[in-house]
Amino acid sequence: MTSSIPNPSFIIINSIEEKNYDLLQYINYEFPLASVYSFDSISAYHKSKEIDENIEICFLFENCLDYSNADTCENILRISSQLEIVAIIKDINYENTQQLLDLGICQILVNDYLTSAQVKQSTFLCMARNSKHVNELSAEHKTQFFDILSKHYGDLVITVDRDLSFQSTNKNIVKKLGVTTTTLSKENLRLYVHPEDLWRLDTIAENLLDKDFISIKPLRIKTATGLYKSFDASFFKNPNNSFEYVLNLKDFVEQEYKEDFRRENNERFSAIAEATNSIIYEFYYESHLLFTSNDNGDYGLIEADNLAEHIEKYMDRLHPDDRERVIKNFSGFTDFPSKESTTIKYRLRSPNGRYKSILDRYRIFFQNGVALKRIGARIDITEVTAQNALIALENRVYEMNADPSCDFCDVISFFERRMEELIPNSKCMVLTEDGDGKIESVSQRDHNNYFVAEIASHSKGLNPLRDSNAQRGKISENPIWADTIEVTDAFGIKYFWTSPATNKNQETIANILLFFPDKIDSEEIEESLVQRITILVGTLIAKHQALTETKVAKERYELVAKATNDTIWDWNVSKDILSWSKGLYEIFGYSPEQVASSSTWWFSHVHPEDSIRVSIKLYRFLEQKVDKWQDEYRFECADGTYRHVLDRGFMEKEPDGTAIRMIGAMQDITQSKTEEERLKLLSAAITQANDAVIITETPRISYDIPKIVYVNPAFSKMTGYLYEEVVGKSPSIFIGKNAMVEQQTILSKATEFNKEFIFEAINHRKNGDEYWARFSMIPVSDNRGEHSHWISIQSDISEQKEQEKEKEHLIQELTRHNNDLKQFSYITSHNLRAPLSNLIGLLNLVEDIVIEDEDLKEIIDGFSKSTHLLNQTVNDLIKIVIIKDNLSIEKEFINIQNIIQNILDQLAYTISQYSPIITINTENAPILLVNKPYIESIILNLLTNSLRYSSPDRILKIDITSSIIGKEIILIFKDNGIGIDLVRNADKLFGLYQRFHDYPDSKGLGLYLVKSQVLSMGGSISVESELGEGSSFLLTFKN
Amino acid sequence: MLQKVLCIDDDPISVMLCKKVISRSVFAEKTDSANNGEDALRYLEDLIKTPGYVYPELILLDLNMPIMNGWEFLKNYEQRFASSHKNSKIVVLSSTIDPEDVRKTEEYSTVLTFISKPITTSSLQEVESLLESK
């Protein structure tokens, strides 16, 4: 049985606790939702403040009363102003209980409990609170209930007690029966029912024991006019009062047309209810009671026995975040009456503990300007809300992902956090694998990273989720987590839910993993949510990977383009758009504005001689539909020169073979081309050379014998060995053994220092003949700078050796001769000089002696002259010998003017005999770097010559001039003497013992000596002369 | 006038000429002679052993001599006599006209000058004035 009083509170004040037992049991049975508070004294009750608000009924046992106190019970029990003592019952008996019943409270309590034998024996006082309120509530509720019943089900509703006495009716009674409620009061239904139908009433009580209702059709009831009216009647128990029956009467006359309307209405109602998934409720502002229909099926929103509840209980089930707002909404009935319905959304906890999103559409009904009730329809919009949340999440995630400034990790971590909000108690992770197949958290959230690291360390680097299907379950029962159970335990997770995200090729690229500390009570909505977000994550990650790959590819391309020296070109064949990499500017010197973006520009810069060949080949390639193209041609640079290029292209094509795009790399091979040309020449030089060329490979191990890798034809000619006979062999086959041993030290040293060197050795021809060869050994290094080969150029020097031998012999011979001669000339000169000086000394003595005899005087005079001439000749000869022998002479800076003046002084006597006009001009070059005795001798000789060979026909003029020409100093001696016949004597002018004039004291040594001295000082001498005109000697010195 | 001159020369005519020119020029009271370097060294060794000896104030030295030539003599002389007879000077008298020879004589501190043969009155005057200036 249910009570019309929702969740009442009871207070029991009793000093003997055992006596409460029965009462408590009864209350618990009848009012399962009631709160019961027990106290052992009134003072204990007073101390407890918290319960004041909810007290409905208080049972006060007599044993708690202090009768010694003069206060009345009323005073003692006045616990709070809100309480009103409605009855004090002593020694409960039937009358007492009836008294309470009359007050309209606790019918059940009074009827069933207070009248029981046990209770009667214990004396207690009973007190009710707010009895008036309860009364009113009860009455109002009844009226409204009838309203609903009549509105939807019947024309006339009557309640009767078990004796079928009228209790109450709705207002239709006047209309239907023509009597008022008052008239019927206290009367019995039986008096109004047609006698033929009375028997049906007898079975009511019996039938209602096991049925919800009984139907009597028709039931004729007497109207005020005395006529009977047929009704379609149904009896059922009054849900509010088990002692009453509700009689629902439908006018049989109106039945026919009402039937359709009702059915229609019913259908419409249920259709609407079904369509909207609505749950209809009514809320009464005065009583705070909430009545809920669950006609439209159980949506898990309400418990079956909770169709009526106190609004505050309802509010308890609201989501904490919504509670305040909804409470306000439910109490906010001061709104102006409105025909429009209003809506509010909130979350409500369903019996399974999960929150449902509710859309509450309601209207408030007013009575006399006061809000009476609120009728509303609650729609479960959990799924819609979840969908909306999901859509919002998707939108936000896509939005974030599209924002280049938003890190992908942040996108995923936002996603994960939202998922954790959408699925309560969950931990969300999006996991993928790194390049090594190691599990990795995409979001990089600390918690996830930590978890993943732990998982990885326990799963031997394997990704436990690899190849896992979408599944969920208990971690301890799933093989996936077998190795990592310690980790999941440590993280306090017991259940998991994983869903693999795939790319468009259905390859798993990530796993969405949800963890729960407790069981998963997932709902359909979450299933589909997970499915959808899996697709979302799959798309995101695939896109991200593609982006990353593109980025990497782009970077790689740029790197390659940077690293390569090639010029990369990209030709959109169909649109004829050609773009070039930087190489075009860097290698070929173009600036971007010089380059047109079409293939025409390209072809126009191919060398005219290559152009036709290249285009034919290229177009043939385009037509042949092969993948690769390659050509060598000359390409014009910005400065008009051409560079050799090797151009390679790859074609991208449509399935039908039509070219879409060509990408090529143009490699500058000018250098290698030039190198090739050069190598051709070099190779020709080697093959055509007369010298033998041998190239040997330096062994990697120093004591290994080098191998011949090449010999030229000259080698074969020289040695008789053919190319094939020596290649791959050691040079020792033709180099003499002795020479090898001798040269080994040099060779190893040279190898060590990588230096060129030359050696000569006796070699053997194939026929055994020996010959002398000179080897020029040139070391060659490889790319790394390490010695790799020797090039040796070998020339046959046998003949040269012979000649050298002869020459050496000759030189030795000559040197010996020369030394002999030198010795001879020294000795001779000295041996001549000594007696000569004696002779002169003797003649000097004779000069002091007066000789009377004329003959003797003449003889001695001749003797003296000859002796002096001999002395001069010998002196000149000795001087020449000295100059020839002494090649290195000391030079000093001298003043020409001074030297000339000294000579003039020495020759003063001779000069006086000729009275010449001597002009000296050395101002332009006053200083000479020469050997002083030599220059004195030269000037003396030249002056003496001028004087000696002066013309008798004219006054002798001598001009001595010095001048600088470049780095040389020119000294000119010019006279107007008799001159020399150069035509006849040019070749022997400066020769030894050459005399050009028939003069008695000419020895033919002077000019020879002059030339010898000039040459020994590094100068030169030349002469211009004409017979009878004079001579001009030109001496050149280097300063 | 010098007290004594030593003339070292293997050529007797040259020695004779020296003596004649010296006496005619009234250059020295006495002119001794030696045939070569060795002979001259021996003469000087003997001389300094003689009590109250007169050491030659001037030595006329020929270069080209047998047994010991002028250069060898100069080396020995500088070692053995030069330091103890600082007032005595050597004049190289040679028929050489090689300037190298002339230059070489300048290396010896005891050599006063070089004169070319034959010896003349004027060359002796030159020597005299050089001695006086020292």
ipTM comes to 0.83
The DSSP-derived string for A83-105 is -------SS--HHHHHHHHHTT-
Sheet holding A228-238, edge to edge: A166-169, A156-161, A241-251, A228-238, A213-222
Contact A879 B97 (CB under 8 A): yes
B21 CB neighbours in chain A (<8 A) are 841, 844-845
Residue A887 has pLDDT above 70, yes or no: no
The shortest C-alpha distance from B11 to chain A (Å) reads 9
The SS3 of residue A704 is coil
Nearest CA among B115, B98, B125 for reference residue B9 = B115
Distance CA A818, CA A629 (A): 81
Nearest CA among A341, A354, A346, A355 for reference residue A328 = A346
Q: Give yes or no for A99 touching B (CB within 8 A).
A: no
Best residue of B25, B69, B95 to probe chain A, by most A CBs closer than 10 Å: B95
Question: Which residue bears the tokens 């099926």?
Answer: A297
* Per-residue pLDDT tens digits for A575-634: 888 888 877 888 888 888 888 888 888 888 899 888 888 888 888 887 775 667 888 899
Nearest CA among A567, A563, A545 for reference residue A501 = A545
Q: What integer pLDDT is reported at residue A702 of this predicted model?
A: 61
Residue B40 has pLDDT above 70, yes or no: yes
Nearest CA among A577, A587, A579 for reference residue A635 = A587
Contact A841 B11 (CB under 8 A): no
Q: Rounded mean pLDDT of A273-297?
A: 65
Q: Which has the minimum average pLDDT: A400-404, A739-743, A908-912?
A: A739-743
Q: Which of the four pLDDT bands, split at 50, 70 and 90, describes residue A972?
A: very high
- Residue of chain A nearest B116, judged by CA positions: A837
Question: Which tokens belong to A127?
Answer: 């007190």
Question: Which residue bears the tokens 């009647």?
Answer: A233
The shortest C-alpha distance from A842 to chain B (Å) reads 7
Q: Rounded mean pLDDT of A873-898?
A: 77
Q: Give yes or no for A884 touching B (CB within 8 A).
A: no
Distance CA A394, CA A387 (A): 10
Residue A678 has pLDDT above 80, yes or no: yes
Contact A933 B20 (CB under 8 A): no
Q: Rounded mean pLDDT of A163-182?
A: 74
B17 CB neighbours in chain A (<8 A) are 838, 841-842, 845
Residue A52 has pLDDT above 70, yes or no: no
Q: Which of the four pLDDT bands, split at 50, 70 and 90, describes residue B15?
A: very high
Contact B14 A834 (CB under 8 A): yes
Contact A841 B98 (CB under 8 A): no
B118 CB neighbours in chain A (<8 A) are 837-838, 840-842, 844
Distance CA A545, CA A539 (A): 10
Please count the other Cβ atoms lying within 10 Å of the Cβ belonging to residue B69. 17
Contact A834 B95 (CB under 8 A): yes
Query: Which of B20, B95, B117 is closest, CB to CB, to A845?
Result: B20
Distance CA A354, CA A942 (A): 139
Between B56 and A391, residue with greater pLDDT: B56
Residue B120 has pLDDT above 60, yes or no: yes
Q: Give yes or no for A840 touching B (CB within 8 A).
A: yes
- Residue of chain B nearest A880, judged by CA positions: B98
Q: Which of the four pLDDT bands, split at 50, 70 and 90, describes residue A713?
A: confident
Which residues, at least 6 apart from A700, have a Cβ–Cβ distance to it below 8 Å? none
Sign of CA dihedral A401, A407, A408, A413: negative
Residue A137 has pLDDT above 50, yes or no: no
Q: What integer pLDDT is reported at residue A173 of this predicted model?
A: 74
SS (H, E, C) A160-223: EECCCEEEEECCHHHHHHCCCHHHHCCCEHHHCECHHHHHHHHCHHHHCCCCCEEEEEEEEEEC
Question: Which tokens belong to A139?
Answer: 């009455």
CB A1034 within 8 A of CB A1021: yes
Q: Give yes or no for A933 touching B (CB within 8 A).
A: yes
A848 CB neighbours in chain B (<8 A) are 24
Q: What integer pLDDT is reported at residue A106 of this predicted model?
A: 44
Distance CA A615, CA A599 (A): 11
* Per-residue pLDDT tens digits for A843-870: 888 888 888 888 888 888 888 888 888 8
Query: Which of B21, B95, B98 is closest, CB to CB, to A837?
Result: B95
Residues of B with CB under 8 A from a CB of A: 11, 13-14, 17, 20-21, 24, 64, 95-100, 116-120
Query: Which of A838, A845, A882 is closest, CB to CB, to B11?
Result: A838
Question: Which tokens belong to B36?
Answer: 């070569």
Nearest CA among A862, A853, A922, A852 for reference residue A894 = A922
Cβ neighbourhood burial of A313 (10 Å; 0-12, 13-18, 19+): middle
Distance CA A860, CA A235 (A): 204
Please count the other Cβ atoms lying within 10 Å of the Cβ belonging to residue A234. 19
Residue A298 has pLDDT above 60, yes or no: no
The SS3 of residue A647 is strand
Q: Rounded mean pLDDT of A121-138?
A: 42
Tell me what the pLDDT averaged over chain A comes to: 75
Tell me what the pLDDT averaged over chain B comes to: 89
Nearest CA among A352, A376, A373, A355 for reference residue A278 = A376
The SS3 of residue A1000 is coil
* Per-residue pLDDT tens digits for A207-246: 776 666 677 777 888 887 777 877 878 777 765 566 677 7
Residue A756 has pLDDT above 50, yes or no: yes
Percent pLDDT > 90 in chain A is 2
The shortest C-alpha distance from A864 to chain B (Å) reads 14
Nearest CA among A799, A804, A757 for reference residue A778 = A757
Question: Which tokens belong to B116?
Answer: 């070319």
Please count the other Cβ atoms lying within 10 Å of the Cβ belonging to residue A835. 15
- Residue of chain A nearest B99, judged by CA positions: A933
B100 CB neighbours in chain A (<8 A) are 882, 886
Question: Which residue bears the tokens 């040019």?
Answer: A986
Beta bridge partners of A1026: A1030
Residue A429 has pLDDT above 90, yes or no: no
Residue A540 has pLDDT above 50, yes or no: yes
Contact A844 B96 (CB under 8 A): no
Q: What integer pLDDT is reported at residue A100 of this predicted model?
A: 52
Beta bridge partners of A941: none
Residue A170 has pLDDT above 50, yes or no: yes
Best residue of B98, B103, B106, B115 to probe chain A, by most A CBs closer than 10 Å: B98
Those of residues 802-831 in A touching chain B at CB distance below 8 A are 830
Q: What integer pLDDT is reported at residue A104 of this predicted model?
A: 42
Q: What integer pLDDT is reported at residue A522 of this predicted model?
A: 57
Between A775 and A85, residue with greater pLDDT: A775
Sheet holding B2-8, edge to edge: B28-34, B2-8, B58-61, B89-94, B111-116
Distance CA A241, CA A145 (A): 13
Distance CA A534, CA A419 (A): 11
Q: Give yes or no for A921 touching B (CB within 8 A).
A: no
Please count the other Cβ atoms lying within 10 Å of the Cβ belonging to residue A732. 12
Q: Give yes or no for A834 touching B (CB within 8 A).
A: yes
The SS3 of residue A1025 is strand
